[in-house]
Amino acid sequence: MKTFADKDIEENEGLLRKPSTWLRQRIKEDTKQRVTDHVEPESEVAVVAVVTNPGTDTKGVVEVAKYTASDLYGFSQAPVIDFNNAVCGILGELEKVRGIPEADLEFEVQAGYMWRSVENLQRYLGTSSSHDEALSILQQVCFAERARPFDGQKLDVLFCAFVVLRGNVFLSEAVLDEFADVLEEGGFDLNAPMAFVKSPL
């Protein structure tokens, strides 16, 4: 039976899966306020343009805009949304690989690009403990599979696993369990790195 807290979490996740203009603006304003409260003194960034006078061929510098640190932080998206966008990008790459015959050399080339994108997700370490756990699982998958020939079956499994991540902005324990289960049931070895750990006995 779902509690009120569970329902609230589901509603918030639904909002963040497809953030509206209002929600994006609210996130920016909240971020800006938090940074403003903690950064003192605040640094500023000036955007300038070099202007050339066509008559005299002399150049001058004109200030176009000036931003504070809180402005720039406010313009940025929340890391959870950035991570979700990156996951959507990888799903697009997987979809592209799925459209190439396995016997085609281009299949391996595009698969290599896809694995690189998966490895690049490590830049989101520290977003949350749940994201760190998901990234740890993906790191193990990369360790075990990166050097092996990729096949259509594992391609489909990886696609399904990323669909699980895409559908949940905040990665709950249940989502992480489902993510790991999809990979393990599809033949991915999540314990591959442990094979190189020698027992002290």
In this predicted structure, the answer to whether residue 199 has a pLDDT above a threshold of 50 is no
Q: pLDDT grade, residue 93 (50/70/90)?
A: very high
Contacts within 8 Å (CB) and 24+ apart, 167-173: 167/17, 168/13, 168/17, 169/13, 169/16, 169/17, 169/80, 169/81, 169/84, 170/9, 170/12, 170/13, 170/16, 170/80, 170/128, 170/130, 171/128, 171/130, 171/131, 171/133, 171/134, 172/9, 172/130, 173/130
Residues 6+ apart with CB under 8 A from 175: 130, 164, 165, 168
Q: pLDDT for 107-151, tens place per residue?
A: 888 988 999 999 999 999 988 899 999 999 998 888 877 667 778
* Cα 146 to Cα 31: distance, rounded to the nearest angstrom: 38
Average pLDDT of the residues in 63-79: 66
- Locus of tokens 């203009």: 21
What percent of the chain lies above the pLDDT cut of 90?
28
What percent of the chain lies above the pLDDT cut of 70?
67
Mean pLDDT rounded to a whole number for the chain: 78
Q: Where are the domains of the chain?
A: 4-75, 79-196
Q: What stretch of H or E contains 115?
A: helix 105-120
Give the phi and the psi of residue 60 in degrees, each rounded to 5.
-140, 160
* pTM for this model (two decimals): 0.58
Average pLDDT of the residues in 28-38: 59
pLDDT of residue 95: 92
Average pLDDT of the residues in 20-48: 63
pLDDT of residue 47: 76
Q: pLDDT grade, residue 1 (50/70/90)?
A: low
